[in-house]
Amino acid sequence: MSSAVTPYRSGLRAGRDGFAQLLRAEWTKFRTVRGWVAGMAVAALLIVGLGLLSATGSHSSCMKGPVEEPCPAPILGPGGEAVEDRFYFVHQPLDGDGTITVRVNSMTGEIRKPDVTPGVRNTVTGVVPWAKAGVMIKESTKQGAPYAAMMVTGSHGVRMQHNFTEDVAGRPGGVSAESPRWLRLTRTGDTITGEESPDGRQWTRVGTARLAGLPTQVRIGLFAASPGDLTVTPNTIGGSIAASRFAEATAVMDQVSMRGKGTGATWKIDDIGVTTGLDGVTPHHPGRLERSGGTFTITGVGDIAPLTVDATIERTLTGAMAGLIAVIVVAVLFVTGEYRRQLIRTTLLASPRRGRVLVAKAVVIGAVTFVAGLAAAALVLPLGRRILRSNNIFTLPVSTLTELRVVAGVAALLAVIAVFSLALGALFRRSAMAVIVAIAAILVPYVLATASILPENVSDWLLRITPAAGFAIQQSVPEYPQVISHYAPGAGYYPLAPWAGFAVTCGYAALALVLAVRRLRRSDV
């Protein structure tokens, strides 16, 4: 006679409920170990404390002649971004719709180089790549006012630019008396249309710009500007030295034609944004105008572009490096602690599906780290910025969306690195080894790349292919192709876009977790 045997069934419900119980168990483990909770609190305190300490110790001042004065706040463009707005402007009023057309016959320039003989000014002829001259419609002569411009450039052909950040390419090539360029801007309400022509008869549209809220009366005319000549010299031991030298551009324009109410009046000139020298009176590097009949020779200095060389909001996050080390240690101990005390056997007996156990640990440590990092970043960024401003340091303004991305992105990066470190702990099962490997994989490449120790091309690759690529998530000011600047890791610019760099770090964390799950499934413990 045989009797039926009822098979054993686990009391844990399958699917989401079972995994939810695993999460609850792992969370209970974490919060009941005071050292782990304290370690995560220390990480948050380091981010806040060191960030505020760095801001408190940073000071700046500006000189006006022999007198030290507070530095002026950056000029803001129509979108709230910090901008540089300095150029030579020859203009008339325009009431309502209208058009300006001009022929640009040449653009030359002068660049100041380091003096070979002390006291003897060393200048060379030439224009920098983003020197520019052409026609402009601008809301007013106030710095930062909305504008649209059609221009020839030193090395980037014809462009249409507006409101400092927008740039559209036209026909490539230079300009000369043998090959002049015709430029035209047409206003229709709030819309500005830019066109170019090689002969003044056949016109090609380059782009359009909508300047919302443009008043009835605007300024319309000719302009010239030239940013400084940027020279980047590699150091013998790594990194580089960037120096910007004075440069000016001179454009010759004729056959100027304007249509529209208000035009035809006397030309006015404004050296927009010109500063004074040490005496506080004499203009410092002014532009100029020479006119012969209908020919205008305009020389301009400066640039019309976003500002990229001031303090950024991520300057308040300097404590994140120290906080990250605490996160790595806690994440590693969260898994190696069970191996050291042989509690891992009990955990696996309670949940035979080993991969889910490690995933549950990763979710818990990632979530805890994200919350701690989010609270720390959200606190230190506004407080640090306020302290910097009180010390006469203005951080470059960014949009609310960008600021949220920096705060949440830093917290998410800490969380992903915590998961990566936990996976290393499960792979090596030795706390010291896992911590060392995590630091070597994340912090060492970052420090080498940003401390100007290595050649810049090597630094770029380190921040492309190592887990340190994720630090790009904190970059708040983008690179602008139309702005001459030193875009290098040491200056806070990363070779990958913010989310692309973050994705690289996520890939390393996912790979490490998959390998850790595979080892756990194949091992006896």
Comparing 238-242, 388-392, 413-417, 501-505, the range with the smallest average pLDDT is 238-242
Rounded distance between C-alpha atoms, residue 371 and residue 391, angstroms:
30
Task: Say what the pLDDT of residue 113 is.
Answer: 80
Strand partners for 298: 251, 289
Report residue 164: phi and psi, to 5°: 75, -40
Task: Say what the pLDDT of residue 133 is.
Answer: 97
What is the percent of the chain where pLDDT is above 90? Answer: 68
DSSP per position, 374-433: HHHHHHHHHHHHHHHHHTT-PBPP--HHHHHHHHHHHHHHHHHHHHHHHHHHHHH--HHH
Domain boundaries of the chain, sorted by first residue: 26-57+311-522, 75-306
Structural fold of domain 75-306: Jelly Rolls (2.60.120)
Name the one residue in this structure whose structure tokens are 């630090």.
471
485-500 confidence digits (pLDDT tens): 888 888 889 999 999 9
Task: Say what the pLDDT of residue 442 is.
Answer: 96
**Is pLDDT at 186 greater than 80 in this prediction?**
yes
pTM attached to this predicted model? 0.86
Q: Decide: residue 37, CB within 10 A, 0-12 exposed, 13-18 middle, 19+ buried.
A: middle
Task: Say what the pLDDT of residue 412 is.
Answer: 97
Long-range residue pairs from 476-479, CB within 8 A, at least 24 positions apart, any chain: 476/312, 476/313, 476/314, 476/396, 476/398, 476/402, 476/403, 476/406, 477/306, 477/308, 477/312, 477/396, 477/398, 479/308
Residue 250, classed as helix, strand or coil, is strand
User: Strand ranges (DSSP E) for 23-180?
Assistant: 62-64, 67-69, 75-76, 82-85, 87-113, 122-125, 132-138, 147-153, 158-162, 166-169
- What average pLDDT does this structure show over 176-198? 95
Comparing 4-13, 164-173, 295-304, the range with the smallest average pLDDT is 4-13
**Is pLDDT at 5 greater than 50 in this prediction?**
no
Comparing 24-28, 238-242, 255-259, the range with the smallest average pLDDT is 238-242
Closest CA to 156 of 415, 517, 520, 481: 481
Task: Say what the pLDDT of residue 60 is.
Answer: 80
- What average pLDDT does this structure show over 13-33? 77
Task: Say what the pLDDT of residue 98 is.
Answer: 96
**Residue predicted with more confidence, 20 or 184:** 184
Contact 52, 263 (CB under 8 A): no
- What average pLDDT does this structure show over 76-86? 94
Task: Say what the pLDDT of residue 4 is.
Answer: 47
**Is pLDDT at 2 greater than 50 in this prediction?**
no
Rounded distance between C-alpha atoms, residue 393 and residue 73, angstroms:
9
**Is pLDDT at 14 greater than 90 in this prediction?**
no
Task: Give the helix ranges, DSSP H, for 298-343.
Answer: 320-340
Contact 160, 136 (CB under 8 A): no
- What average pLDDT does this structure show over 454-460? 88
Q: Is the dihedral of CA 189, 192, 196, 202 positive or negative?
A: negative
Residue 322, classed as helix, strand or coil, is helix
Task: Say what the pLDDT of residue 371 is.
Answer: 97
pLDDT band per the 50, 70, 90 thresholds, residue 93: very high
Question: Residue 308 has which token pair?
Answer: 């990229």
**Is pLDDT at 178 greater than 70 in this prediction?**
yes
Tell me how many degrees the CA angle 140-141-145 measures, rounded to the nearest 5: 60
Q: Which helix (H) or strand (E) holds 248?
A: strand 247-261
Closest CA to 248 of 233, 227, 262, 275: 227
Rounded distance between C-alpha atoms, residue 247 and residue 285, angstroms:
9
Helix then strand count (H, E) for the chain reads 9, 23
- What average pLDDT does this structure show over 61-89? 84
pLDDT band per the 50, 70, 90 thresholds, residue 7: very low
- What average pLDDT does this structure show over 162-177? 94
Q: Which helix (H) or strand (E) holds 437?
A: helix 431-450
Contacts (Cβ under 8 Å, ≥6 apart) of 159: 132, 150, 151, 153, 167, 168, 169, 170, 206, 482
Neighbours of 513 (CB within 10 A): 22
**Is pLDDT at 419 greater than 60 in this prediction?**
yes
**Is pLDDT at 195 greater than 70 in this prediction?**
yes
